[in-house]
């Protein structure tokens, strides 16, 4: 996703739900997307509709267990972030994030080899 307020909402929702968000660079090409999904053991991807052709070319996206959430696409094409943001949240009690829990995986630039996933804890 390019920088958008909806992306901040997504990150905060991941934190609240205790999910690990693997932050991919918006301009990653299909091989880099596949690599990041592989090393992070990705289960779902959030992507802007501008990236649909890259997702369609991916060897990994079609097999993600939780699929794709799109942003900026017609609301008739599967899960849509705008719809999810507008929905009333279910009443669920979530465990608080502990200091050593990993909320994010950031990827290195990959200037000398494939990008590496670096796990950060809530404390760092």
Instruction: List, in sequence order, every residue forming a beta bridge with 106; answer none if it has no partner.
Output: 23, 118
Q: Residues of 55-82 as b/e, b for ≥16 C-beta within 10 angstroms? A: beebebbeeeeeebbbbbbeeeeeebbe
Q: Where are the domains of the chain?
A: 5-120
State the pLDDT at residue 97.
76
Taking only the tens place, the pLDDT of each residue in 40-90 is 999 999 999 999 999 999 999 999 999 999 998 876 677 888 888 888 877
- What is the domain class of 5-120 according to CATH? alpha beta
Q: How far is CA 20 from CA 12, 13, 75, 76, 119, in A?
A: 11, 11, 26, 27, 9
Q: How far is CA 66 from CA 62, 98, 109, 114, 121, in A?
A: 10, 25, 27, 25, 24
pTM: 0.82
């Amino acid at each position: 996703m390019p920088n958008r307020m909806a992306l901040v909402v997504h990150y905060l929702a991941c934190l609240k739900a205790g999910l690990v968000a693997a932050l991919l660079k918006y301009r990653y090409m299909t091989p880099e997307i596949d690599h990041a999904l592989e090393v992070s053991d990705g289960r779902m991807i959030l992507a802007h509709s501008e990236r649909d052709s890259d997702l369609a070319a991916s060897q990994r996206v079609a097999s993600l267990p939780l699929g794709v959430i799109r942003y900026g696409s017609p609301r008739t094409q599967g899960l849509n972030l705008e719809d999810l943001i507008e929905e009333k949240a279910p009443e669920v009690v979530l465990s608080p994030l502990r200091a050593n829990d990993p909320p994010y995986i950031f990827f290195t630039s990959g200037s000398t080899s494939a990008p590496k996933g670096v796990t950060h804890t809530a404390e760092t």
